[in-house]
Amino acid sequence: MWLNYIILNSVNRHENLLLCSFLSPVSKQHIPLSSINHKFEPIAQKKDRLIVYNKSDLAHPDTEAAITKAFKEHKGQDVVFTNANDDVNVKGIIKYLAKKAKVSGTASEKELTTMVMVVGMPNVGKSSLINSLRRIGVKKGKAAPTGAIPGITRTVAGTIKVLESPKVYLIDTPGVMIPHIPDPVSAIKVALTGAISDHLSDEEVIADYLLFQLNQAQDYSYVKLYNVKEPTDDIKVFLPQVAKYIGALKKGGEYNLPAAAQFLVKQYRLGKLGRFTLDDIRPEALEEFLTKEVEETASRRQQKKADKIEERKIKRQIQQRKWEEREKAKL
C-alpha cells in the first residue's frame, strides 16, 4: 500500500517499524505520483512493501493498467488498487499478505506472526481499508475510526488482527502529510483530494484548478449539472453561476463565492464530477518520473554512505588526537 507515509515521531524511535516485517503504504489513485513521499524510501528500503492505491472509483479507468505496468518495469514493485468502501480487491490484499507471511516465516503456519505497518497521507481511506481487511479477514467489525477529516487517526493505535492463520496484524498510524511538496501544482492536487485541511487552503484557487482539470479532460458535464450557460475556463465566470444554482447568497444578495467553491470541491471528492486522474499517467511521463525517482534514491543512498565514511573518519581523527594528548601528558 503506497501510503504516503510514516508517522515520523514514532518511526524515528523505531518502536513500531522494527517490529514490522512488512510495510503497507496507502495512497490515492487519482494522485498516484503527487502522493509519493520520496523521504520514505531510506526509512523503509529494507522492508517488503505492497503499495495500495485506494479510492479507485475516483480515478480514470486507465490509471490502474498504466501504474501497474510502470511500477513493475521501473521498480519491481507490486501495487494493488482498491475502493475500501465496497471491498474492491480487499480479498486480494488478504491473500497477498498471507502468502508473504508464509514465505517469510520459519516456524509452522500456526506459529507465524507477521506485523504490517499501514502508513499514508491524511484522508486516503486508510482506516476504511483496515476495517475492510479486518471484516473480511477475521469476520469482525470496525477497529479503526473513519471520517472525511484529514488526520482523524491521531495516535499510533495497537495491533489489529486481520488474518488468523498465518497470523497477520496491522499497526495503524496517523495520516502524515508529505514532508516536502516539490511545486505549487502538486500542493493544489493534494489539497483538492482532501489530504490538507480545507481551512489551510484557498478554496477558490482549488476550485479554479478543478475547473482546469475538467476542461483538460474535455468533461463538460458541469454545464448541465449546475445549469451553466456554456463551458468556461474562467473561474470568475463559473463560480457565480454555481452559487446561483445552489442558492449561495450573502446578505444583500451577493453571491457567496467561497461557498460555491467549497461545494464544487466536495462534489469532486464525492465522485459527482466524474473519474479523472490529476497526475500525468502517459507512458512517457511515468517513465520520466520513475526514472528520476530511482536515480534520486540511488543518489541519496550514495550520499548516506559517504556521510557514514566521513563520520568514521572524523571519529578516528578525534581518537588519534586524544591518544596523542595522552602520550604528551606522559612525557
What pLDDT was estimated at residue 105? 52
Grid cell at residue 181: 511538496
Q: Is the pLDDT of residue 26 over 80?
A: no
**For 270-308, what is each residue's pLDDT tens digit?**
889 988 899 998 999 999 988 887 777 677 677 777 888
- C-alpha to C-alpha distance for 27 and 125, rounded to whole angstroms: 8
Count CA within 13 A, CB hemisphere, residue 94: 22
Q: CA end-to-end span of the chain, whole Å?
A: 65
Q: CB of 75 within 8 A of CB of 68?
A: no
Q: Is the pLDDT of residue 13 over 50?
A: no
Q: Is the pLDDT of residue 6 over 50?
A: no
Which residue segments constitute the domains of the chain, with CATH numbers given?
8-179 (3.40.50.300)
Does residue 173 come out as left (phi exceeding 0), alpha (psi in the -120 to 50 range) or beta?
Answer: beta
Number of H helices, E strands in the chain: 11, 7
Q: Which of 94, 84, 92 is nearest to 168 (CA)?
A: 94
- C-alpha to C-alpha distance for 259 and 232, rounded to whole angstroms: 19
Transcribe 217-244 into DSSP letters: TT--HHHHHTT-SS--S-HHHHHHHHHH
Grid cell at residue 46: 529494507
Crossing angle of helices 63-75/283-330, nearest 10°?
Answer: 40
- C-alpha to C-alpha distance for 84 and 125, rounded to whole angstroms: 7
| Coil, helix or strand at residue 12 | coil
Q: Residue 228 class from Cβ within 10 Å (0-12 exposed, 13-18 middle, 19+ buried)?
A: middle
What pLDDT was estimated at residue 77? 82
**For 191-246, what is each residue's pLDDT tens digit?**
898 877 776 678 999 999 999 999 998 999 999 999 998 999 999 999 999 999 99
Residue 1 confidence class, pLDDT cut points 50, 70, 90: very low
Residue 200: how many other CB atoms lie within 10 Å: 9
Does residue 169 come out as left (phi exceeding 0), alpha (psi in the -120 to 50 range) or beta?
Answer: beta
